Amino acid sequence: MIHLTHEQIAKRAYEIYLRSGSLPGRDEENWLAAEIELKREIETAKVTATPKPNGHSSVPAPAKAAPVVVATKPAPPVIVPPVIAPAVTVTHTASVPSCGCAPTPAPKAKAKTSKPRKTKARF
């Protein structure tokens, strides 16, 4: 069984992130690709480290695995409508004495005054 540490996977995922052009939003893909690469490298090292018929084993330097390229379409942008609070007007009436406020009198209607009309003189 292959045991990988969190630090090993995180380091390789960061390398993949940099190799792929530092594209945001692909954390999970980079993490999974890092696990796959590291497991392949360990498996390759195990296969090449098998003993030879003469009893000696050769352990070459681990070979670099080919980069895993995952082609995906970029996610469409999410359009979130702005939150608009409804306009609420609170008025106190005499029927609501529980709020502790003094009742607000209703606004007085203004009396219309007529202004003298200007007319042009015709000659």
pLDDT digits (tens, 9 = 90+) for 86-114: 565 555 555 555 556 566 666 666 666 66
Indicate if the pLDDT at residue 57 is higher than 70.
no
**How does pLDDT run across 72-91, given as a tens digit for each residue?**
666 677 776 666 655 655 55
Q: Model pTM?
A: 0.40
**How does pLDDT run across 7-18, given as a tens digit for each residue?**
999 999 999 999
Query: Exposed, middle or buried: residue 16 (CB in 10 Å: 0-12, 13-18, 19+)?
Result: buried
> What pLDDT does 32 receive?
93
Between CA 117 and CA 14 the distance in angstroms is: 82
- Of the pLDDT bands very low, low, confident and very high (cuts 50, 70, 90), residue 38 is very high
> What pLDDT does 4 receive?
87
Contacts of 16 (CB under 8 A, 6+ apart): 30, 33, 34, 37, 67, 68
Indicate if the pLDDT at residue 2 is higher than 60.
yes
Contacts of 33 (CB under 8 A, 6+ apart): 13, 16, 68, 70
Higher pLDDT, 50 or 97: 50
